[in-house]
Amino acid sequence: MIKSMTGFGRSEVTDGQRRFTVEMKSVNHRYLDVSMKMPKKLNFFDATIRNLLKEYIQRGKVDVYITYEDLSEQTVSVKYHPDVAATYLQYFKEMEDAFSLKNDVSVSVLGRCPEVFSMEDVEIDEEEIWKDLESAVRKACEGFVESRIKEGANLQKDLVEKLDGMLAIVDFIEENSPKIVEEYRKKLEARVQEILGSATVDENRLLTEVTIYADKICVDEEIVRLRSHIEMVKNTILAGGSIGRKLDFIVQEMNREANTILSKTTDLELSNRGIELKTEIEKIREQIQNIE
């Protein structure tokens, strides 16, 4: 099976204390390019998540979005700083003595002084967090890969049909190319007869001219190589795997052979078939850009 580089996956994992939501989407790219957006408190897991993604993805530009909700209502804690409170009291006492003021500091007044109390995030249990986060990422990856496989199956079917159509065009060119030589021979003989009148035509000279022309327009080698490339693409697609780069190289070779065939063809109908062949190769080239 082949995989498309276009895919989407989503998962949500909740254990009662926290909820993770992971969304993934991708488009084609020459290499694996991962972009992640997630809360800062999860940045510690960045490298681990990237390594996990490589288990499921070889190529593509992948965007990953991770959201985290703490459902325990214990996301922050209040911390009392007695040293800060003692310092405030010391200064209040000095102010009382220096300015002969009544020291009416109460607990509520002292508690409102900056830094006597502070709000701090509760430390997260990294092992517990990763347990749920890994589960969410893996489930999103599984859905993501499934969507790529489904799209890849559609690509495979369409590509095989196009390749079979190309083989039919190649068969037509191979079958009709020899007819051009025979038609050229008849035209050349008629032209020479017209010029010489009743004089005898030199068969050896005529044969030489026809042979030179036949060699010039011969596409036998190109047809053999093109047919081989088409079969190789088809077999590679049916074998599946991460084949995008390999297919891209083979299609370049196919295009080169088609160009040579077209340049040698002098017949209008064969030229049209050659153009049709190049058009199909271009369609295939565009499609394989989206194969992993």
pLDDT in tens, the chain (292 residues): 889 999 999 999 998 788 999 999 999 998 999 999 999 889 989 999 999 999 999 999 999 999 998 876 566 667 888 999 899 989 988 898 888 888 888 888 888 888 888 877 666 678 888 999 999 999 999 999 999 999 999 999 999 999 999 999 999 888 887 766 566 555 655 665 565 555 565 566 656 665 665 556 577 788 889 999 999 999 999 888 888 889 999 999 999 998 888 877 777 888 888 899 999 999 999 999 899 8
* R_g over Cα of the chain: 38
Alpha helices in the chain (DSSP H): 46-53, 82-99, 107-111, 126-196, 203-217, 220-239, 244-264, 268-288
Q: What CATH class has 7-72+125-149?
A: alpha beta
| Contact predicate 84/38, CB 8 Å | no
151-288 to CATH, choices 1.20.140, 1.10.3210, 1.10.260, 3.40.50: 1.20.140
Fill in the amino acid letter for 116.
V
pLDDT value of residue 176: 80
End-to-end CA distance of the chain: 11
Strands of the sheet containing 7-14, edge to edge, are 7-14, 18-27, 60-70, 32-37
Buried b (16+ CB within 10 A) or exposed e, 89-110: eeebeeeeeeeeeeeeeeeeeb
CATH 1.20.140 in the chain: give the residue spans: 151-288
Burial label for 201, CB within 10 Å (0-12, 13-18, 19+), is middle
Distance CA 213, CA 197 (A): 24
Instruction: Give the sign of the dihedral formed by CA 179, CA 181, CA 186, CA 187.
Output: positive
**Region(s) of the chain under CATH 3.30.230.10:** 7-72+125-149
- Assess contact for 55 and 34: CB atoms under 8 A: no
The whole-angstrom separation of Cα 157 and Cα 49 is 34
pTM over cut 0.75: no
pLDDT at 7 (0 to 100): 94
Q: What is the pLDDT of residue 180?
A: 62
